[in-house]
Amino acid sequence: MTAYKSDFLRELTARGFIHQISDPEALDAYAAKETVTAYIGFDCTGPSLHVGHLMGIMMLRRLQQAGHKPIVLMGGGTTKVGDPSGKDEARQLLTDAQIAANMASIKTAFTRFLTFGNGKTDAVMVNNAEWLDKLEYIAFLRDYGRHFSVNRMLSFDSVKLRLEREQPLSFLEFNYMILQAYDFVELAKRYGCRLQMGGSDQWGNIVNGIELGRRAASLDLFAVTCPLITTSSGAKMGKTAAGAVWLNADMRSPFDYWQFWRNTEDADVGRFLRLFTELPLDEIARLEKLPGAELNEAKKVLATEATAMLHGREEAERAAGAAKAAFEQGTISADMPTVEIAAFELEGGMGVLNALVTANLVASTSDARRQIKGGAVRVNDEPVSDERLTLTTANVVDGVVKLSLGKKKHVLLKPKG
């Protein structure tokens, strides 16, 4: 392991963030003496970022903690194009209004991780539509397009893999890497930004920016990428059977977010504690060595610390308490996920199959049947063996009906009206 002089690279290395660095010695010397301005880009394809984006967000947080300046680049312009990296098909094209709405919604998560302001190391949020929307096509091709070799662009994984799978790649998407490279140059000119960070799948795009900066503007730029996180079983980080693990609370509750981290696989506990919490490394080393069932305590610590960082300490403690009530004590907590239904649905009788679908515990009634046959379903902690069971007002306890799927998924049905 390289012995870095700068606090920034030492911390990233110790916690497992670094996959590649373009010029380690030069960047380390620069970071040890100067304030480094660095950025990561986030496209606005949806109303929330997800757990898969946390690596980048945490890298920006570590950068700021080490006394440097983060730039959050919102892709108001590049979202109109779509990054082909890791994709088998083109993104759905969004309208300007949709992109603006997504951007406004996404911004809220960053305030939990970064300090924004006008100070030397305060984070700033920038929208690349500021310069991309104003580009004149012919002038842009003459000034910047001439620095890109199509032969080389075809060799990048983001392009090559799509072509090998015989999936269409539009000329619009093919331009993405040029626009990302141009972003780096613009940020260097406007903000003195000399470092771009991102996932390892972005290495080719980032290096393009370094080379464009050198050729078109005599800029000396750097790249740092982090590994793409998969779980020890090979699953993509943040992907579950229910879909993406969103960062916005209105798309995934603090309780469900806490539960996602609590369900971390044993082999990933130490790694995730280093990456996604700020616990001291010696404490993490102790936690990841806990034997057998005691490792569950380390998972609870991970869940609480990760949730506190995103949703605040109070919400994290409430989620931990609700989980303890649901999983260890078998009781009902008001902080558990709740789905409201019309009171008349229970007054007239609601089939348990439909109730499970309404609670989003299963995708369909046929799935509900399979779960009941497998003994996974409970109502108010009582096992359900009959798929024809009907829930009525008699099942309401303390104003709710508790539905459970397996040991870890619980939802309260709350009749209203």
Active site residues: 45, 50, 53, 87, 91, 180, 201, 236, 239-240
HSE-CB at 235 with a 13 A cutoff on CA atoms is: 13
DSSP 51: G
The H or E element that residue 286 is part of is helix 281-288
Give the span between the Cα atoms of 168 and 287, in whole angstroms.
48
The single-letter code of the amino acid at 48 is: S
State the amino acid at position 247 in one-letter form. L
Q: For residues 200-225, b (16+ Cβ closer than 10 Å) or e, as one string? A: eebbbbbbbbbbbbeeeeebebbbbb
Q: Which residues contact 312 (CB under 8 A, 6 or more apart)?
A: 112
Supply angle C-alpha 57, 18, 165, rounded to 5: 85
Q: What is the 3-state secondary structure (H, E, C) of 193-239?
A: CCEEEEEHHHHHHHHHHHHHHHHHHCCCCEEEEECCCECCCCCECCE
Transcribe 14-45 into DSSP letters: HHT--SEESSHHHHHHHHHHSPPEEEEEEE-S
Residues 6+ apart with CB under 8 A from 3: none
| C-alpha of 65 from chain center | 20
First to last CA, the chain: 63
Q: Are residues 66 and 11 in contact, defined by beta-carbon separation less than 8 angstroms?
A: yes
Other CB atoms within 10 A of residue 133 CB: 12
What residue spans of 42-191 are helical by DSSP H?
54-65, 96-110, 129-132, 137-143, 150-153, 157-164, 171-174, 176-191
